[in-house]
Amino acid sequence: MKVLHDIHTHNVFSACCEDKTASTPAYIAKEMELGMRLFGLSNHIWDERVPGASGWYRNQTILKAKEALGSFLTCEHGDMKLRFGCETEYYACRDLLGMSEEGAGNFDYLLIPHSHLHMRNEVMADFPEILEARAKVRADLAEKMPYLPERNLDAMAATLREADLVKIFPELEIDVMAYINKANLDTFRALLVNANLQKLAGKLPVSIAHSFSPCGVPHAKKNEYLAHIRDEDAAECYRAAAKMGLYIELNVGAITEVSFDMTNNRLIDLYRIAKAEGCQFTFGTDSHSVKGLELIEWGDKVADALELTSGDIAEFVRDAVID
């Protein structure tokens, strides 16, 4: 299969984009050069109507994204269609989706991740050992500086990052892999029963972004982590997603982070299960740079590894593949 769409892209509007040349017109020009039939811009967005965004999301609003897009959505781009989407967020710790029904009305499609597991205490709770370590620091501060108000003690202890605490308490033994894998599955299950997602499903195309790809885990170790996700658990999640009419994203960036060898790539195995459960797919690079858009070439290899035909592709992007 030839994949001629990329609907997971971040440009300068996303806070994590470091390519200062990654403007909307630069992306459009590059996608046209690559011969794409459909290009979707999907910056990180938290709907300003939904209270509870972290500081990181506070400026990544729908209003700002629309301003950044400017008039490009309506411009002509040769034979290539431009779609306005976003990658929103799901805070599993609070069962909170960062997109309201009204907010979703601004978009052609949504990408929703469950596995931004590096967002501690938002998507995934602190490891229990880290919670204890933080409590110990707080207790020490309270003892040495009894004049400090409680709120300051809380704030000071909260500023210590996981990496700091691991250094302060080198004796900590944390089974990181077990916690991450549990969260990886729990967050997927929780997202699927989120009341807001259930309202949105079917109203506009929604694709689950990089499902099961644990963000924050070293790339070289991802295969090892993912080996512990059981086939039957993946099948249960994908069956539920297919029943709700949700699409599953084939995130070429996340897949190739695991391995460029499609025969030794646990994400490919998991997405094969998704196909068997009747899921349909969308493709995206998750590029944060102009150059990164070239990774879509690997989409063809992903499609071939999964033996996809156009019938396996989500209807709204189906014109942008060739069997």
Task: Return the structure tokens found at 77.
Answer: 């781009």
Task: Return the structure tokens found at 208.
Answer: 């689950």
Q: Which is nearer to Zn ion, 10 or 37 (CB)?
A: 10
Q: Which stretch binds Zn ion (CB under 5 A): 53-61, 78-86, 112-120, 224-232?
A: 112-120
Q: Which is nearer to Zn ion, 68 or 172 (CB)?
A: 68
Task: Return the structure tokens found at 231.
Answer: 């086939």
* Closest-CA residue to 213 (of 202, 223, 200, 203): 223
Report how far residue 60's alpha carbon sits from residue 304's, in angstroms, rounded to the nearest whole number: 36
Q: Which is nearer to Zn ion, 62 or 133 (CB)?
A: 62
Q: Which is nearer to Zn ion, 103 or 214 (CB)?
A: 214
Q: Should residue 253 be labelled a site residue for Zn ion when binding is judged by CB under 5 A?
A: no
| Nearby residues of 23 by Cβ (< 8 Å), 6 or more positions away | 11, 12
Q: Which is nearer to Zn ion, 133 or 282 (CB)?
A: 282
80-109 residues near Zn ion, rule: CB under 5 A: 87
191-230 residues near Zn ion, rule: CB under 5 A: none
Closest separation in Å from C-beta 110 to Zn ion = 12
Structural element, H or E, at residue 298: helix 297-305
Closest separation in Å from C-beta 10 to Zn ion = 6
8 A C-beta contact, residue 280 and residue 248: yes
Task: Return the structure tokens found at 214.
Answer: 């644990």
Place of tokens 């978009």: 107
Pairing of strands 247-251, 206-209: parallel
Closest separation in Å from C-beta 216 to Zn ion = 11
Report how far residue 233's alpha carbon sits from residue 176's, in angstroms, rounded to the nearest whole number: 20
Pairing of strands 206-209, 90-91: unpaired
Closest separation in Å from C-beta 254 to Zn ion = 8
Query: HSE-up of 47 (CA within 13 Å, CB side)?
Result: 21
Closest separation in Å from C-beta 41 to Zn ion = 11
Letters for 272-301 (x = contact with Zn ion by CB under 5 A, - = none) are --------------x---------------
Report how far residue 24's alpha carbon sits from residue 31's, in angstroms, rounded to the nearest whole number: 11
Helices 266-276/297-305 angle, 10° precision: 60
Q: Count the residues of the shown chain that bind Zn ion, applying the rule CB under 5 A.
A: 3
Q: Which is nearer to Zn ion, 129 or 282 (CB)?
A: 282
Closest separation in Å from C-beta 323 to Zn ion = 27
Closest separation in Å from C-beta 288 to Zn ion = 8
Q: Which is nearer to Zn ion, 113 or 214 (CB)?
A: 113
Letters for 48-67 (x = contact with Zn ion by CB under 5 A, - = none) are --------------------
Q: Which is nearer to Zn ion, 58 or 167 (CB)?
A: 58
Residue 247: strand pairing partners: 207
Out of 103, 113, 292, 299, the residue judged to bind Zn ion by CB under 5 A = 113
Output the CA–CA distances (angstroms, integers) from residue 220 to 61, 116, 176, 228, in the order listed: 33, 18, 15, 15
Closest separation in Å from C-beta 115 to Zn ion = 8
Contact positions toward Zn ion, by CB under 5 A? 87, 113, 286
